[in-house]
Amino acid sequence: MSSITSAAAMKLLDIRLKHAGSIITSAIGEFSTSGVQEIVCLRAGGTIDLFRIVITNVSTENNDDDEEDEEEEVQTTLKLLKRVETRSTLRSLTAIRISGSKKDVILVGADGGCLSLLAFDTATPANNKNSDASVTYKIIHCPSFGKSGCRRDTPGQYLASDPRGGRAVMIASTEKRKLVYVLNRDSGGNITIASPLEAHRPRTVVFDLVGVDNGFDNPIFASLEVQYPEYEDAVLAERKKKTDEEDHEKMEEEKRHDVELGQHGDGYTKQLAYYELDLGLNHVSRRWATSTVRSACCLAAIPGGLDGPSGVLVGGEDYIEYLHEGMSPPSSANGNSKITPKRLICAIPRRELHPKSKGILITTISVLRQKKGKFFALAQSELGDVYKVTLQMSKEDKTVVTHMTICLLDTLPIGNGLNISKLALLFVPAEFGDHGLYQFDAIDIEDSAVKFTSEETISAFVKSGESSEDAFYASSENAAAIVPTFRPTILRNMHKVFTLDSLAPVTSVLVGELAGNEVSPQFYTLCGRGPRSSLRILRHGLSVTELAVSELPGVPGGVFNVRDDRTTKNGKFYDRYIVVSFADATLVLSVGETVEEMGKESGFLTSDPTLACSALGNGDKDGGIVQVCPGGVRHIRRVNNQVNVSQWSVPGIKKIECASANESQILIALAGGELIYFELDPMSGNLTEACTRDIGTDVCCLDVGPVPKGKSRSLFAVVGSRDSNVRLLSLAPASLLEPKSSTTLGATKPYSAALSIVDGGDGASELTMTVGLEDGSALRANVDPITGAISTSPSRRFLGARPVSVSRVTLDGSPSTLLLSSRPWIGRNGNGRHSMAPMSYAPLDHGCSFSNEAVREGIVATSGTTLRILSVGENGGNNALLGNDDDEAFNATNVSLRYTPRQMCLLSAKVGETGKKIVLALVESDYNDYGAEEKKSMGFDGTGRLKTTSKKIESKSNDDAMDMDEDSDDDANNEEKKEEADEEDEDDINTRLTPIRGPVPSGKGHWGSCVRLVDPQNACSTLDCVELNRNEAALCCASVRFHSRGGESLLAVGTVTSMTMHPLGHKESHVVLYRVVNGDRLQFLHRTKVDDGPVLSLVHFQGRLLVGIGRTLRLYEMGKRQLLKKCELRGLPTMVKTLHAAGDRAYVGDMMQSLHFIRYDSTANRLVLVARDRSSRPITCQELLDMNTVAVGDKFGNVSILRLPGGADVGAIDVTGTRALWDSSREDATPKLETLCTYHVGEVVTSMTRASLVAGGAESLVYVTVTGRVGAFVPFTSREDVEFYTSLEGYLRVEAPRPTGRDPQAYRSYYAPTKHIIDGDLCDAYAQLPYETKQKIAEQLDRSVGEVMKKLEDTKNALL
């Protein structure tokens, strides 16, 4: 890092390595293609993701010979179609379908002060809805309505649309302001948006907003809100109440129509209000309002018109209520009672171990219309329990709701929403952790599930004798006394089919090569919360699934695949043979249900090595197989089930040195540089020699390239020669083997070459040449498809220590490149840019594409004397490959944890007498939770595998199948599902496992915590785990080496006992020391009680331990029974949050007042304040860059780099004693830190570390955020780079699209003007621009478009 801190003006580039995983909200609909279910997600960090639900059938066969035993396994995945960068803070989302349209559009509320109307479009053919056509987005409208920023009175926090035809939309702020926009279509079918209509209401706080299904009457919007009086009015009213009670009552009566005072507490009544848009008068009015339960927080609209009774469901604490204008009061179960209930309300079932004094809050409700007159709702509680809500209507009048039933469905991770698909799928965007897509097994569960009804709830209220419904429903004890209880288990009515990874929240990161046997360092991140916590090890590279491994008789020299033109399924051809070439033989393997070795019956020459082979023909006609051996070219054809072989032999004593073939063309190179070109005659099906050319030098490699779709031949071939030149030759009939262009490689020589047809980003295809070099690097250049000219700005990247072998493969339906060196790599184009990432696998020697019914898109490769079949992607799928988005490819290994991880540190432990071992220590703690032993004594099972779950899941009734859109049930299918449900294996159990939150303590100050020791060299397996008792929580840890202990690494843990958050307090704090015994066990040494506040930070300091205790910084020495206090510094502003140390300096991050530089005066044994920051920054993390420079992150999402001015620490210590005490303590006498860089990331940075991401590479500043983003600040090393990126960023601030109307520079300067940090996300937007805009910017930069793209790519390649 010395290079970036040497200059006075530091310049950094922000590069995103992994997008934020947290999803703010989501919506389901048909956005890019009609009839295809898709999900739009708003992610933290300002990105909008469009996912498609892809359902594929994979045929499997049983062991029986009967054809009827063939089964189809359904695989459901989420495929990322489009990612939209908004560079803004996203707040709300709703999907609407304008009347007359076949697709949905989205409305987005953000901090730009605009309402964004976006539409997605695709070129997918109507007969192939799951094809990989590119998806684009269009900004239809983006009208501005107010100030930018997330202000309480700026609309954008809530967004609701009219369910009937999308006629209008309401956008509301947290307080006061509401705007209504009317949507329509013009004569050309384009969507129009009118000027906003105001529906403001002063002193009104909004909690939720939905559009009411009112049929085709005037649109109505329901708002859950509270109105409060002005402060002066409240004070005067209180005084008047004391002096004149009658006048006060009169005033309250006058205001009763406006707002009703709450009956309990000092707050005000929460109301559900209807706002009506009169389409005729073009006016919005507050039509109707009624009070609801005080804890209400969420709304959901019920279908209306001919589909249902209309109205809304209101979710609150312990209850769900149905409300609608003009609804009749429910009938009392006790007819003799004088109490008349007014609410149609139902209590929710509760968990067995949940305290009766604590309520359970409903956080989200979602409604799905199944068919005409049939619908249901799903509601989720704050504990994760999902309930099914059904409304029963009157038989005489279907618009009148008589009662409500709530039954337990399952327990899922707590989500920010519930998206129910018509495909019987449920998408849960988790609040923290991985998101899940679930398949319903049954939905009509009222007969077997734990349930409660509104009739029972109202009956309990009537029997209680309570005169006020508000008083009865406000008590959690009343709800706990009447509802049934349950114990959460594994999923019974659904199972998980797909997982969308998310790191959120990340609390700490550590980068280093700790595994011991890998080339690149790993990212160790502490992720998750509660039962979903994990330690995730991220590796730069694509995950690889090893499907098969087979031993070979020797070391192969190549491997090839041969397509089977005779059989096709789903429009795809599968491979017929795998051909493995050895030094003096060829092995032919037949691919079918099993892989078998073939002999002479295959027609291949097995006594010689194979240089190239391919199936000939375009699929419509079998052209046979070509095999190229050193002695000649063999054409193998099958006629009347007989193998017919024709061979062209090499003239004289020459031998073929290298060859290449595709479906219709063969090119061979003889010793001395003679090239011979063959073509397949489409009429006769024979191979004919078409042309010969001598290039005058030996050929190292060549490739004829793939045949473009719809064409009969490849127009170019690439030839690499030993004179370090790469030539592009023409294969056009009029100019066979004529040179078109060439490039010189310099000192190195080509080793392999390949031509690929890739997506150019604008819907057009590009021809790309990739050359593997002998020095371990790869060169890639674009080729003009007309002239054959090689681009003047080829990109070059070092891949490994071995020569690079290049071959074409197909992954995720797109052409890709496999590059094999000391590490395998995958290269692919996507979103207008080229991406390259390593595969997380052992080194491979040779490889090619492979496909059959079991492995749709895989790789067959050799490594040593083994043949391997691999699949790239998660769980063998290719859904998360690079190229789909701008993320660098990472694969993760998860290690489950017990509690929320807080901090980690590395320890060097002794093993035996002389051995050393690196171990990783973690501290975990959860507030408002019990410890593991207490949970066990209470009978709680966090896995959900109770004794009852050892039995098979109970069979469902015939009507349990989920009826989504069909008008009639299929009884036969229901019977089959009932029989299949009786057979459950372990794989099915794994798809039903769900994290279950432990019992909630009844009192405050309860904690569950532990200290864990893991081994990073053994997949981070747990070596030891020490559970803390007595409500003691471990919040921080550090490795410390006391001089008195001989430099042995000890683990210091800061703990707090019975800590409460509101108000902040605790009983006592301790610093606990542990010793690592034999590298696998923690041994307790002693515990030291400390005063002055909680211990939040620890650091090793000059053979001692420096501890941040509340507002005090204290230095400790090792003692026999406890730590010994040496010196301290009191009076820090608020609380010490972070600590670093170097030399005689300590760098203290205050929780509210930024950074302080402290110096230790060893002569006087005291800690002296050297300098402080002039700005008040609420510090969340910090990282030391050098002795004078520190990078800090604050809770507002800003990153700043601060530096100590030169000579500031000289006068910190008064060695003369002449300075007055009051002069040294003055505030203005303390030097102030200089701010070198400022940048708004947009997400709260929780941890930073300085690391090199490649062996021998330059250091960068790696950071992680609470929403799961991983990024790096890369220092610029030349003035040319600074000028290039500064100019590019300036042009893109003007040219880049603004989907939400937010100015990129204003976003990065949210709290302070951005300074000396370039927005890498904005620079990456260059690849997404139209070509004309790219060319315009490139001309202003005095570069070509290819040179700009190469510069962007090389910058990322230098980092990873």
What are the pLDDT digits (tens) for 160-179? 999 988 999 999 999 999 99
Give the pLDDT of residue 619: 59
Give the pLDDT of residue 242: 59
Give the pLDDT of residue 256: 42
Distance from CA of residue 961 to its chain's centroid? 32
What tens digit of pLDDT does each residue of 116-141 get?
999 999 864 443 444 456 889 999 99
Q: How many residues does the chain have?
A: 1360
Give the pLDDT of residue 254: 47
Phi and psi of 367, rounded to 5°?
-120, 140
What tens digit of pLDDT does each residue of 262-287 get?
443 345 789 999 999 999 999 999 99
Give the pLDDT of residue 876: 42
Indicate if the pLDDT at residue 1209 is higher than 70: yes
Give the pLDDT of residue 897: 96
Indicate if the pLDDT at residue 255 is higher than 50: no
Once rounded to an integer, what is the mean pLDDT over residues 289-317? 94
Give the pLDDT of residue 143: 95
What tens digit of pLDDT does each residue of 633-688 get?
999 988 777 888 899 999 888 899 999 999 999 999 998 899 999 999 888 888 99
3-state secondary structure of 977: helix
What are the angstrom distances between the C-alpha of 371 and each of 240, 249, 306, 962, 1112? 57, 51, 11, 12, 65
Give the pLDDT of residue 457: 94
What percentage of the chain has pLDDT greater than the value 70?
87
Give the pLDDT of residue 879: 42
Indicate if the pLDDT at residue 812 is higher than 60: yes
Once rounded to an integer, what is the mean pLDDT over residues 348-355? 94
Please provide the distance, in angstroms rounded to a whole number, between the alpha carbons at the two ends of the chain: 17
What percentage of the chain has pLDDT greater than the value 90?
66
Rounded Cα–Cα distance for residues 1112 and 968 (Å): 72
Instruction: Give me 432's structure tokens.
Output: 């923290």
Give the pLDDT of residue 1029: 86
Indicate if the pLDDT at residue 1073 is higher than 90: yes
3-state secondary structure of 1101: strand
Mean pLDDT, the chain, rounded, equals 87
Rounded Cα–Cα distance for residues 630 and 656 (Å): 5
Rounded Cα–Cα distance for residues 783 and 797 (Å): 18
**β-bridge pairing 1049-1057 and 451-453:** unpaired
Contact 511, 1249 (CB under 8 A): yes
DSSP 960: G
What are the angstrom distances between the C-alpha of 1009 and each of 710, 1034, 1058, 1071? 64, 6, 12, 15
Give the pLDDT of residue 257: 38
Q: With bands split at pLDDT 50, 70 and 90, how would you rate the model's confidence at 1107? A: very high
Rounded Cα–Cα distance for residues 656 and 671 (Å): 7
Give the pLDDT of residue 123: 67
Give the pLDDT of residue 862: 95
Indicate if the pLDDT at residue 26 is higher than 70: yes
**C-alpha triplet 1057, 1058, 1062: angle, nearest 5°:** 130
Rounded Cα–Cα distance for residues 1036 and 904 (Å): 8
Give the pLDDT of residue 914: 77
Give the pLDDT of residue 653: 84
Once rounded to an integer, what is the mean pLDDT over residues 29-52? 95
Indicate if the pLDDT at residue 466 is higher than 60: yes
Q: With bands split at pLDDT 50, 70 and 90, how would you rate the model's confidence at 1257? A: confident
Indicate if the pLDDT at residue 1140 is higher than 80: yes
3-state secondary structure of 253: helix
Phi and psi of 1356, rounded to 5°?
-70, -35
Instruction: Give me 984's structure tokens.
Output: 């459950």
Give the pLDDT of residue 620: 56
Q: pTM here?
A: 0.90
Which residues in 974-989 are b (16+ Cβ under 10 Å) and which e? Answer: beebbeebeeeeeebb
Contact 581, 610 (CB under 8 A): yes
Edge-to-edge strands of the sheet including 38-43? 23-29, 38-43, 47-60, 71-85
Rounded Cα–Cα distance for residues 1096 and 1108 (Å): 6
Give the pLDDT of residue 422: 92
Give the pLDDT of residue 261: 38
Indicate if the pLDDT at residue 868 is higher than 60: yes
Q: With bands split at pLDDT 50, 70 and 90, how would you rate the model's confidence at 68? A: very low
Closest listed residue to residue 1146, CA positions, set 1178, 1176, 1201, 1187? 1187
Rounded Cα–Cα distance for residues 672 and 653 (Å): 12
Once rounded to an integer, what is the mean pLDDT over residues 446-451? 89
Indicate if the pLDDT at residue 1206 is higher than 90: no
Indicate if the pLDDT at residue 1229 is higher than 80: no
Give the pLDDT of residue 1295: 95
Closest listed residue to residue 414, CA positions, set 435, 393, 395? 435
Contact 215, 301 (CB under 8 A): no
What tens digit of pLDDT does each residue of 893-906 get?
999 999 999 999 99
Give the pLDDT of residue 852: 84
What tens digit of pLDDT does each residue of 976-1000 get?
544 554 444 667 788 888 889 999 9
Residues whose CB falls within 8 Å of the CB of residue 461, separated by 6 or more in sequence, listed in order: 339, 341, 469, 472, 473
3-state secondary structure of 1167: strand
Q: Which helix (H) or strand (E) holds 834?
A: strand 833-838
Q: With bands split at pLDDT 50, 70 and 90, how would you rate the model's confidence at 2? A: very low
Task: Mean pLDDT check: name the lowest of 64-78, 208-222, 533-547, 1135-1149.
Answer: 64-78
Rounded Cα–Cα distance for residues 661 and 329 (Å): 80
Indicate if the pLDDT at residue 577 is higher than 80: yes
Give the pLDDT of residue 259: 36
Q: With bands split at pLDDT 50, 70 and 90, how would you rate the model's confidence at 356? A: very high
Indicate if the pLDDT at residue 763 is higher than 50: yes
Q: With bands split at pLDDT 50, 70 and 90, how would you rate the model's confidence at 65? A: very low
**Which of 309-323, 551-565, 781-795, 950-964 is predicted most confidently?**
309-323
